[in-house]
């Protein structure tokens, strides 16, 4: 064992302080997106008077594409230069976002702010994932991802609810975005001063790993994660579709709810309910995937999501839409941390960061794909037709997982993909 890793230990208990700090940091990362979830679709409609839904959802396309590409870069940078510098850089880039949203004189400014937000999310969220996987080692990845994603999406939900209430009381700007400004400042401070580098934990795990890293190139890792390796590729397509329907919920649902006569406060409740159930559910589902396995939680979760989306399309009213949001949250909780655990199961520690980056490239492209598909369909056929289409795509994705993915979780440390 090399000197830098001599005092390093793997495991949640051994690294509880740093793990807990990273949970807090990722909550702040999620809050940065939460500042937009309720307010931006309403800004497009009520302040900037953008009639075409496809145009109004351009901010989600900009966010999704930028975040997806940054995820890929973040994994490579984290493997090459370490995790902490990437995390700090992400927060520096995120600092201007709330100010740009407050002062935006045109929709182009909003889109530009979401380009920066995509970079911020790609660098910070990818890095907190990699760092938690580094710390806990091979046995508790599902639990670690459950905590990571729960923190981010609970903060997203709480911020969406809070910004809806602030918008209803004080208007759409500037009050809702002051939360985001506070999140960015606190996240930068914690990441710079208190977060420690975890790269040596990954090196330690690599030194005791059962399989060789095979010296894979970036292109080989991209091909494995995207097409060749059955579990990795099935996870990548499921991640894309999951965020495709999350993009629908972000961009289309507030508009649909507003057309029914709901005010910003009640819309904020519905917008927050889905990620709230999603975030809290992950505290259970991540750990359950360590006991029950990954595959059927993912396949079943995609089908539960499809039922929830279909219920939004088929019904009207706060109560039924709230039930649909709960179903979507349960399904997403079954899927989200489990997909990340699959990547951690299969990818060798030596190229894990890059594999996470490729997976998150495809997953977050789902935001852009969802916004484009939903926007075009809504403009041509109406809002509910767009929602029905996404429900069908989500169901098909679950069937793909059932047919293609094998079970990746083993009770003892598993070998990596060759």
215 vs 88, residue with greater confidence? 88
Q: What is the CATH number of domain 12-404?
A: 1.20.1250.20
Tell me what the mean pLDDT of segment 141-152 comes to.
Answer: 79
What is the structure's pLDDT at 416?
A: 40
- CA-to-CA separations, 146 to 10, 90, 271, 390, in angstroms, rounded: 18, 22, 21, 25
**Distant-in-sequence, close-in-space partners of 277: CB < 8 Å, separation ≥ 6:** 325, 326, 328, 329, 330, 333
**Structure tokens belonging to residue 325:** 């949001």
Q: What percent of the chain has pLDDT over 70?
A: 93
What is the structure's pLDDT at 415?
A: 40
What's this model's pTM, rounded to 2 decimal places?
A: 0.76
What is the structure's pLDDT at 210?
A: 54
What whole-number distance in Å separates Cα of residue 26 and Cα of residue 36? 17
12: closest CA among 231, 355, 290? 290
129 vs 182, residue with greater confidence? 182
What is the structure's pLDDT at 148?
A: 82
What would the pLDDT profile of 227-245 be if each residue is shown by its tens digit?
989 999 999 999 999 999 8
Euclidean distance between the first and the last CA atom of the chain, given in angstroms as a whole number = 24
What whole-number distance in Å separates Cα of residue 246 and Cα of residue 252? 10
6 vs 105, residue with greater confidence? 105
Tell me what the mean pLDDT of segment 145-153 comes to.
Answer: 81
45 vs 118, residue with greater confidence? 118
Buried b / exposed e along 46-75 (16+ C-beta atoms within 10 A):
ebbebeebbebbbbbbbbbbbbbbbbbbbb
What is the structure's pLDDT at 387?
A: 95
What is the structure's pLDDT at 168?
A: 85
What is the structure's pLDDT at 47?
A: 82
**Distant-in-sequence, close-in-space partners of 65: CB < 8 Å, separation ≥ 6:** 118, 365, 368
267 vs 388, residue with greater confidence? 388
Tell me what the mean pLDDT of segment 183-199 comes to.
Answer: 93
Structure confidence at residue 40 as a pLDDT band (50, 70, 90): confident
What whole-number distance in Å separates Cα of residue 111 and Cα of residue 117? 10
Tell me what the mean pLDDT of segment 80-104 comes to.
Answer: 94
pLDDT at 418 over 50: no
Structure confidence at residue 411 as a pLDDT band (50, 70, 90): low
What mean pLDDT is reported for the chain? 86
Structure confidence at residue 402 as a pLDDT band (50, 70, 90): very high
- CA-to-CA separations, 25 to 124, 309, 368, 385, in angstroms, rounded: 9, 31, 25, 38
Q: How many C-beta neighbours within 10 Å does residue 176 have?
A: 32
What is the structure's pLDDT at 214?
A: 57
What would the pLDDT profile of 368-387 be if each residue is shown by its tens digit?
898 889 889 988 999 999 99
Which stretch, 191-205, 268-282, 303-317, has highest mean pLDDT? 303-317
**Distant-in-sequence, close-in-space partners of 25: CB < 8 Å, separation ≥ 6:** 87, 124, 128, 187, 190, 191, 195
298 vs 140, residue with greater confidence? 298
**Length of the chain in residues, anyone?**
418
């Amino acid at each position: 064992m090399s000197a830098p890793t001599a005092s390093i230990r793997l495991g949640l208990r051994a690294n509880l302080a740093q793990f807990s700090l990273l949970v807090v940091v990722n909550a702040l990362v999620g809050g940065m997106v939460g500042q937009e979830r309720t307010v931006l679709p309403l800004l497009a409609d009520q302040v900037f008077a953008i009639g075409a839904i496809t145009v109004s959802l351009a901010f989600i396309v900009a966010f999704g594409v930028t975040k997806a590409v940054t995820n890929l870069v973040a994994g490579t940078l984290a493997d090459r230069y370490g995790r902490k510098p990437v995390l700090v850089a992400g927060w520096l880039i995120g600092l201007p976002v709330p100010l740009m949203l407050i002062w935006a004189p045109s929709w182009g400014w909003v889109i530009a702010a979401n380009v920066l937000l995509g970079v911020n999310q790609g660098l910070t969220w990818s890095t907190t994932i990699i760092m938690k996987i580094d710390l806990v080692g091979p046995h508790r990845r599902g639990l670690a991802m459950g905590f990571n994603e729960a923190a981010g999406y609970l903060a997203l939900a709480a911020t969406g609810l809070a910004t809806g209430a602030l918008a209803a009381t004080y208007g759409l700007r500037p009050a809702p975005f002051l939360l985001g400004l506070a999140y960015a400042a606190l996240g930068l401070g914690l990441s710079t001063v208190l977060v420690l580098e975890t790269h040596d934990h990954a090196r330690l795990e690599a030194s005791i790993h059962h399989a060789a890293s095979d010296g894979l190139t970036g292109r080989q890792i991209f091909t494995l994660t995207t097409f060749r390796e059955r579990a990795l590729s099935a996870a990548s397509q499921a991640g894309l579709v999951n965020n495709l329907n999350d993009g629908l919920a972000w961009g289309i649902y507030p508009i649909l709810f507003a057309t029914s006569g709901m005010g910003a406060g009640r819309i904020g409740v519905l917008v927050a309910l889905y990620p709230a159930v999603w975030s809290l559910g992950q505290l259970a589902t991540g750990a359950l995937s360590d006991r029950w396995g990954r595959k059927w939680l993912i396949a079943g979760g995609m089908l539960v999501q499809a039922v929830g989306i279909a219920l939004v399309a088929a019904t009207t009213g706060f109560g039924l839409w709230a039930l649909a949001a709960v179903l979507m949250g349960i399904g997403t909780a079954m899927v989200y941390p489990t997909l990340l655990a699959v990547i951690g199961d299969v990818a060798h520690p030596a190229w894990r960061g890059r594999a996470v980056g490729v997976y998150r490239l495809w997953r977050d492209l789902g935001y852009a794909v969802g916004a484009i598909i939903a926007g075009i369909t809504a403009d041509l056929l109406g809002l509910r037709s767009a929602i029905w289409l996404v429900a069908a795509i989500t169901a098909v994705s679950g069937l793909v997982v059932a047919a293609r993915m094998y079970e990746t979780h083993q009770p003892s440390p598993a070998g990596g993909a060759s």
